Amino acid sequence: MLAYECYKPCDETRRLDTESCARVVWRNKKLGLEEYRFLLKNMVSSGIGEETYGPRNVVEGREESPSLAEAFSEMDEIIFDTLDKLFARTDISPSEIDVLVVNVSLFSPAPSLTSRIINRYNLRNDIKAFNLSGMGCSASVVAVDLVQQLFRTYKNKLAIVVSTESMGPNWYCGREKSMMLSNILFRSGGCSMLLTNNRALKHKAILKLNCLVRTHFGSNDEAYECCMQVEDQQGHPGFRLTKKLPKAAALAFTMNLQVLVPKILPLREQFGYVIQSYYESRIRKSTSSTKPEAVLGAGLNLKAGIEHFCLHPGGRAVIDGTGKGLGLDEYDLEPARMALHRFGNTSAGGLWYVLGYMEAKKRLKKGDRILMISLGAGFKCNNCVWEVMKDLEDPNVWKDCIDRYPPKSLANPFQERYSWLNDEYLSFVRL
């Protein structure tokens, strides 16, 4: 990897603080007291702060009637902003790009978004272009894997990967609780990155891909259905997140680790892991435990082969569960927690905000290894290991706020401002 650029809106009117979030909630006249309490409880426990960004149509009150023009505008703003900065930073001309991969799960127009980029930057007519949709939050690693496969055939090439998500047209306007969660967690964001297999550019590289493992657990019905785009009974489209998601994530992650661990850990740690896994399986059979931490098991010391952990900032529960299962401490989890707090869950682009935090905090030193852990609809677990090629300390997208992180408290103001929703007397009052 030669460089990456994360997106941050210049327009502060798109910021979703406590007040603007409350305005979005109150606009939905379909909600009752029970739904308000559900939203309050989950907003308070989400781990999301006061400075995340939402799609323009939602902030301005047009979430119930999104237009195609607004969907294109949202994508253009994220994609073109990050690509402009990426080309400027690397001094690479768009005409030099050989491969282009774009992943946006919930917006797949014709012509494709890759064609839109080719048209905008006048890319060459022999470019290898790929448009990935429906891949969920783990799509970024899928795109990197696709580039890696192409690089095995095509030598001395440059590739662009663009990872983002279309939020505006997919805002849920109903009252089904499992579908309201996506409105709480997901925010606007994205990232563009430049990769190469040209050894002549090795001195410019910031990261080197050591290994990548993809696991797809879609053959399991519970896993397949735990994270899905659907319509509720009233016909409102949205994204449903069920209570089966933590179990599906743990099982997919465990399957992935079985392939990944031999690639990254020394033999002594692998031997211990095999013994531990055997005893864990015996315990699970005897207790029928389905808890995520029981599935992941204990005793696996990933720190014997990894210095940094780049976890998908999907939500506080995701970060807590992954950290507990892998025996990570607060220092390891801090980048994911802070990325979630500052930018929210930006879907496939989220990993790069976590990486940006590590770089801005000057944690990444030459020779360090970074484990990227991504989970997404399907259900998929896609993980990869990067090696740091030089000391990295660019403040990047965190430039204006890194000195304030980590904050003394991650408490959400919703609890203080709207705790009255939990008062018992409201149970007898119709709002």
Select which of 183, 312, 382, 396 is catalytic: 312
Q: Which of 170, 308, 310, 381 is catalytic?
A: 308
What's the Rg (C-alpha) of the chain? 22
Is 173 designated active site? no
Selecting among 198, 210, 211, 216, the annotated active-site residue is 216
Catalytic residue among 28, 345, 396, 412: 345
Please confirm, yes or no, whether 183 is among the known catalytic residues. Answer: no
Residue 233: Cβ-neighbour burial (10 angstroms; 0-12, 13-18, 19+)? exposed
Which of the following is catalytic: 341, 382, 384, 412? 341
Write phi, then psi, for 76 (nearest 5 degrees). Answer: -60, -45
Per the rule left: phi > 0, alpha: psi between -120 and 50, beta: everything else, 215 is beta
Rounded Cα gap, residues 308 and 302, in angstroms: 10
Structure tokens, 1: 């990897």
DSSP letter, residue 426: G
Give whole-number Cα distances, 373 to 112, 138, 214, 312, in Å: 28, 9, 10, 6
**Nearest residue to 351 (alpha-carbon basis) of 126, 193, 155, 133:** 193
Dig out the tokens for 379 from the structure: 């259900």
Selecting among 21, 137, 173, 310, the annotated active-site residue is 137
**Catalytic annotation present for 341:** yes
**Lookup: tokens for 431:** 């709002």
- The yes-or-no answer on residue 197 being catalytic is no
H or E element at residue 216: strand 207-216
In this structure, are strands 128-132 and 99-103 parallel, antiparallel, or unpaired?
parallel
Backbone φ and ψ of 119, nearest 5°: -70, -40
Question: Dihedral angle at the C-alpha atoms of 55, 37, 241, 130, nearest 10 degrees?
Answer: 10
Cα angle 120, 122, 123; round to 5: 115
Mind telling me the catalytic residues? 137, 216, 308, 312, 341, 345
